[in-house]
């Protein structure tokens, strides 16, 4: 499969979402803690938007926050092979992840959405590991597709293998 160079909200992918994936990604839902696919996944790989396929998070930045949802200290910081190009929208943006103020449910939070797919992913909080930047990206499994390290090449994400190289391999 050739590497996808343009990510977008794919109507065909949206039509294939199961009801929970649709509720979470398209209607800003939240799945139940400890009852989702990736909260306890310890395999090496990357997590991509289930709608657009854009790379979002890597297992090297995943940690157990004891919240029942997959938690990461940071998103994947852009293409591994070069600088980020194209417009990045939203009040606070990082490659493939947009953060927006969320005033729903009587709280003030920071919502996390995919940049190109506009999928609701979850929220980011400032109670993450201090030695890793202090952030906790609390993400719904329903908004993600996991691609195992062994499958990165065949899935078109081979450039992200470098995230898993040890310091002695670089």
Residues forming the active site? 138
Cα 79 to Cα 62: distance, rounded to the nearest angstrom: 19
φ, ψ for residue 113 (rounded to 5)? Answer: -130, 155
Strands (E) in 2-158, as ranges, are: 45-49, 55-58, 62-63, 71-72, 92-94, 97-102, 109-114, 120-125, 136-139, 144-148
CB atoms within 10 A of CB 28: 13
């Amino acid at each position: 499969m050739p590497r996808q160079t343009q990510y977008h909200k794919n109507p065909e992918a949206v039509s294939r979402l199961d009801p929970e994936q649709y509720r979470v990604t398209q209607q800003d839902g939240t799945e139940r803690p400890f009852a989702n696919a990736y909260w306890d996944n310890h395999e090496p790989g990357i997590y991509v938007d289930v709608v657009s396929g854009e790379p979002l998070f890597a297992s090297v930045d995943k940690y157990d926050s004891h919240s029942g949802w997959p938690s990461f200290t940071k998103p994947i910081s852009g293409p591994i092979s070069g600088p980020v190009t194209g417009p990045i929208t939203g009040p606070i943006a990082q490659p493939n992840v947009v953060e927006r103020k969320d005033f729903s449910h009587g709280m003030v939070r920071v919502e996390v959405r995919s940049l190109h797919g506009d999928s609701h992913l979850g929220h980011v909080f400032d109670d993450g590991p201090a030695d890793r930047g202090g952030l906790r990206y609390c993400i719904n499994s329903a908004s993600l597709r996991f691609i195992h390290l062994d499958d990165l090449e065949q899935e078109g994400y081979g450039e992200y293998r470098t995230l898993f190289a040890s310091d002695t391999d670089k």
